[in-house]
Homo-oligomer: A and B are copies of this chain.
Amino acid sequence: MHTVSRPLRWGMVGGGEGAFIGEVHRWAACLDGHYQLVAAALSSDPERNRRSGMQLNIDRLYDDYHHMAQQESEREDGIQVVSIVTPNHLHADIAITFLRQGIHVICDKPMTATMEQALELKQVAESSPAAFLLTHNYSAYPLVREARHLIAQGRLGKIRSVQVNYVQDWLTADLERQGNKQAGWRTDKSQAGAGGCLGDIGTHAYQLACFMINAQADTVLADLSCWGEGRILDDEANVLIRFNNGAKGHLWATQVAPGNENNLSIEIYGDQGGLRWQQENPNELELSLFGEPTQRLTRGAGYLSDSAKSVTRTPGGHPEGYLEAFANLYREFSDCLNQQQSDSLLPDIYDGLQGVAFVYAAVNSASRGNVWTSLNEFMQTANT
């Protein structure tokens, strides 16, 4: 049985009416009872903020996040942690504001809209006593943890090849021209940042690959497309990757592939074996040792590692899904904050930096005619 402490006092910025990811964060935080939502600035539109606050029974509602950070830090019962679920361009300033008040930050991805913001945020985070969690939720599925464990143990041998695909279809239609708010900001460079599909889902796919093989990209070569009429940000990307452990890879991200909802999948091959995992059927992991029958590992099974078991709630065959994985991040972060756990697999500021550098390198590769481009080039800029 999971030991229950007093819940953390928790705040939220963004996530008002009609937002998708804000509600996901609330479910994820709620599932284990480790967080209690007591303060929020749910929308920059005062009327929408007010309406959303009433629906959610928020005790302390703020129109402005600066104000919120200030006041909460002064209260004895002020929030201990805040979640940021706004469009990308606001992440950096909000995170910096709360970190400077010593309030822990849970931030949606991509970490920031620009590399400059990412580097500034990194500096602030490094000098703050408060902790930072980036919600790359897919890395918290039990069988994703198992995959990382199997690879770390050398079960696949030396890793040679990675294929990771993140395939959606919702932007096949030009929703941003039909008033869809979710599509609107994601296709708007001033809010989304340099990458469209790259930032929105490509960063997830990239993080998933890096997480599983415990490596990062040295260089990428990207071919980007803007299929939707009038779009200036990519809605499809094919990215060749060279990892710093010698592996090569290909990442395909698209939001215009009819028949795909949230089809994130990955295949990894080494000189001894391979594995395959699909987010839409997350309770199975295929493991192939060369020359042997492929095995179907299932979440909840006794033969899995502690790494998988520690993020497993229900027995095998009782499917866990997206919210449970998301909730794992919340639970592990609260455990960290309560110092019950030290050696964490949680995505942090450096994963965020990687993600933004990945977007930058891919966009630059494409604009320069699809040439190999180093991620370091972008991450070191601010150090000069």
A contact residues, range: 35 or more
Which B residues lie within 8 Å of A324 (CB)? 321, 323
B319 near A279 (CB under 8 angstroms)?
yes
Question: Of B3, B172, B261, B321, which is within 8 A of A321 by CB?
Answer: B321
Check B319 against A322 for contact (C-beta < 8 Å): yes
Q: Are A52 and B317 in contact (CB under 8 A)?
A: no
Knowing A30-B32, A319-B282, say if A370 contacts B258 (CB, 8 Å).
no
Q: Report the bound CA distance from A307 to B240 in whole Å.
A: 37
In this assembly, does A227 line the interface, its C-beta being within 8 Å of a C-beta of chain B?
A: yes
Bound Cα distance A271, B236 (Å)? 13
Chain A residues near B (Cβ < 8 Å): 1-6, 16-18, 20, 23-24, 27, 30-33, 52, 55-57, 156, 160-161, 163, 165, 168-169, 172-173, 221, 223, 225, 227, 236, 238, 240, 248, 250, 252, 254, 256-263, 267, 269-276, 279-283, 286-298, 300-303, 313-324, 369-372
| Chain B residue nearest to A158 in the complex (CB) | B227
Contact A317 to B261, CB < 8 A, known contacts A291-B303, A293-B287: yes
Which chain B residues lie closer than 8 Å to A225 at the CB level?
160-161, 248
Complex Cα distance, B279 from A384, in Å, reads 53
**Complex alpha-carbon distance, A252 and B27, angstroms:** 36
Given contacts A257-B267, A282-B319, could you give 17 more A-B pairs where the C-beta distance is less than 8 Å?
Answer: A1-B18, A1-B55, A2-B23, A5-B57, A20-B314, A30-B31, A30-B33, A161-B227, A163-B252, A169-B290, A238-B240, A240-B240, A258-B270, A258-B273, A259-B274, A261-B315, A318-B321
A294 touches B291 (CB 8 A): no
Most B CB atoms within 10 A — which of A31, A168, A271, A300?
A31
Which residues of B have CB within 8 Å of A30? 30-33
B370, A57: Cβ atoms closer than 8 Å: no
Give chain B residues whose Cβ lies under 8 Å from the Cβ of A267. 257
Q: Is the interface of A mostly helix, strand, loop or mixed?
A: loop
Q: Given known contacts A221-B370, A317-B168, is B292 in contact with A293 (CB within 8 Å)?
A: no
Q: How many copies does the complex hold?
A: 4
Q: Are A261 and B300 in contact (CB under 8 A)?
A: yes
Give the distance in Å from the alpha carbon of A246 to the alpha carbon of B318 in the complex. 32
- Indicate whether A293 sits within 8 Å of B289 (C-beta atoms), given known contacts A1-B17, A163-B252, A313-B323: no
CB nearest to A224 among chain B residues: B248
Query: Which one of B165, B273, B370 contacts A372 once the chains associate, using CB atoms below 8 Å?
Result: B370
Cβ contacts under 8 Å, A227 to chain B: 160-161, 271
Identify which of B273, B294, B318 contacts A296 (C-beta below 8 A).
Answer: B294
A-B CB contact pairs (8 Å), 19 listed: A1-B55, A1-B56, A2-B23, A3-B55, A6-B57, A30-B33, A160-B227, A161-B227, A161-B257, A223-B248, A227-B271, A250-B252, A256-B271, A258-B290, A280-B319, A281-B281, A291-B302, A313-B323, A314-B321
List the B side residues contacting A2 at CB < 8 Å. 23, 55
Q: Are B293 and A297 in contact (CB under 8 A)?
A: yes
CB distance from A253 to the nearest CB of B (A): 11
User: Complex: how many Å from CA A57 to CA B258?
Assistant: 48
Q: Which residues does chain B contribute within 8 Å of A221, judged by CB atoms?
A: 221, 223, 370
Residues in B neighbouring A287, C-beta threshold 8 A: 259, 293
